Amino acid sequence: MKKWVISGVVIAGVAVALMGIFGSGSKGANSEDLPVASVQRGDLVIDVLEGGNIQALNYLEFRNEVKDNSGVKILEIIDEGYMVTEEDVANGKVLVRLDQSQLEEEIVDHDVEFQQTEAAYAEAKQNIEIEESEALSDIKAARQALRFDLLDFQKFVGAEAAEATLKRLNLPYNTESLTRYEEEATELIVKAFDAKRLAESAKAEQDMNPFELEAESSLASNVDFSTFLQNEVLGDGEAEQTIRRMKDEALVAASELSVKEESVEGAKRLHEREFITRQTLDNELVSLDKAKLALQRSETELELFRDYEFPKEAEKMLSNYEEALLSLIRTKREEMAKMSQIYAKFRSAKRRYELQLKKRENLEEQLASCVIRAELPGLVAYGGAQANYYTSRHYDGIASGATLKTGQPIITIPNMSELGVEVNIHESHIKKIELGQKAYITAESVPDMKLEGRITKVAVLPDSNASRYNPSLKVYPATVEIEGTHEFLKPGMSAKVEIIVKELSDVTYVPVQSIFVEEDERFVFLKTSNGYERRLVEVGMHNSDFIEVIDGIGPGEEVILKMPDDYEPPKIQVAEKPGLKKAESKTAAKDAKPQPKSSTNA
């Protein structure tokens, strides 16, 4: 059989009395001796009764904000119950004064470290500007050297020949292509310095090659500059001008040689006629040799320039330009690496500075919290507004000279115009409770005054503190707001709360202990002239005292509040299964026979 549970203080007393009757051992007692109650018809209020404490819904709470493992002492504290006035708030009256000597020592010690951190932060910030300026200068110099090397190559071989050669080598050939080359290379460098890519590369253990133009072999060495002269592709450059000059010098030397040859022939004829001396003829012959040597030298210089000097200088200038391209990228990469280090040092110094600054501000805030002044008029109460046994027992009592732990509530100034009752709803009733339900509040100090209120808050989960020492106890904290302002109410007062779940009109109801249950059937013992009658009933909602009866009995009838001693529950018929032995069937029927016990429902 299922049992119904009697709830409420009054019902508990009735249950004790009924247990005394059961324990008397008198069987076959007359129904006249059993307690009875009349079936009633009328209005029935379904409610939930709970006890709680009156608390302020809005309050100003001051806690110990000094972070010291050893705690901090209270030097001064205002008396509990002191009424803070508007004048006290205006004058900044001191309510609590804590010992701040330890904090003052910490601030002095921290100042030295803070000044060093501040200086390192300022230095790191200045280093950024210095390194940025130097990096820009180095990059500017590398960019300028690159342009000069390009101009030198163009000047030497001619603009058209230089452009054709550089295009064939896929190298920048003018200002626009140089700018595009630098932008693309810079983008590759930035990607190479990306922290995420570096982490991925390190994880994969792969070597980075962010710029493909940085190769060991020189592109200039692959160019055959001798074909420039053979194919006459040289422009009007320095090399072409040099070749022209050498050709002109060779032409002049050849002309001078012709003149000297004619002069020598004339001198020979004059010497034969003895018009000139042998010495004069020898001088003419020496001049002829000089002219021949001059022509030979001019022709040799031209051949050497065409075959050796021109290819060498052209390749050298192209190699210098190629190296200048790589030098610009290396310069950018080196400067970016330096700037990365400088920025990393700056961020580190800035982070240390911010931490030290935050620590300094925190110490100053803790120091300021050592003096608590009046901020709101109201009644001073020691401890926190939400203090209970499970939290307050971890703290020492509030008094002058007491040591406070970090975060410990010191005083609370409640707003007396908004009061409520904090109650714990048992899990058996929590489904009945809804926000906005009406409630009646009775303070134990003023039992003849009933106040009205409303449910304003219901916890979603049970209170873990309440079940700490009794795991089977599940209660849900709820708040009942008291309507109006009542001067006689004070925070901390005990109060009883009657939460109105539903108000039933014109219904039939009986005491909850008159309802019994057997095999999911609810019934009553109806008193008759011959004794009693077992009557099945259909029940509805109930409170702690009465339960609604929808069908089965009517007003004026009388029900017995105790199960009669001579009552025998009906036997349960067990159907015999196919193949079940007769002995087993009898045993099963015997085991299924219920024991006569009474139960009631709250």
Instruction: State the angle between helix axes of 101-157 and 310-369 in degrees (0 to 180), rounded to the nearest 10.
Output: 170
What is the mean pLDDT for each group of 10 consecutive residues in the chain (602 residues)? 34 38 38 83 90 87 88 91 90 92 89 90 90 89 90 87 86 88 83 61 49 56 74 76 87 90 88 86 88 89 85 87 88 87 91 92 91 89 68 71 89 86 89 90 90 92 77 88 87 90 91 90 90 91 90 91 84 52 43 40 40
Strand partners, 535: 524
Residue with tokens 């009061």: 419
Phi, psi of 220 (to 5 degrees): -65, -30
Output DSSP code: residue 308. I
Sign of the CA dihedral running 231, 233, 236, 241: negative
Q: Are 406 and 66 in contact (CB under 8 A)?
A: yes
Sign of the CA dihedral running 304, 305, 306, 309: positive
pLDDT at 173: 87
Q: Are 379 and 416 in contact (CB under 8 A)?
A: yes
pLDDT at 602: 36
pLDDT at 355: 93
Strand partners, 452: 440
Q: What tokens appear for 263 in the block?
A: 């002069």
Strand 419-426 to strand 94-98: parallel, antiparallel, or no bridges (unpaired)?
unpaired
The 3-class SS string of 153-211 reads HHHHHCHHHHHHHHHHCCCCCCHHHHHHHHHHHHHHHHHHCCHHHHHHHHHHCCCCCCC
Closest of 512, 578, 577, 518 to residue 548, by C-alpha: 512
pLDDT at 595: 40
Query: pTM score, two decimals?
Result: 0.51
pLDDT at 587: 44
- In the chain the domains, ranked by start, together with CATH numbers, are 9-57+415-592 (2.40.30.170), 62-99+370-403 (no CATH), 114-354 (no CATH)
SS3 category, 117: helix
Q: What tokens appear for 121 in the block?
A: 């932060």
Contacts of 150 (CB under 8 A, 6+ apart): 162, 172, 173, 178, 321, 324
pLDDT at 516: 93
Distances (CA, A) of 273 to 82, 97, 270, 279: 153, 140, 5, 14
Sign of the CA dihedral running 159, 160, 163, 168: negative
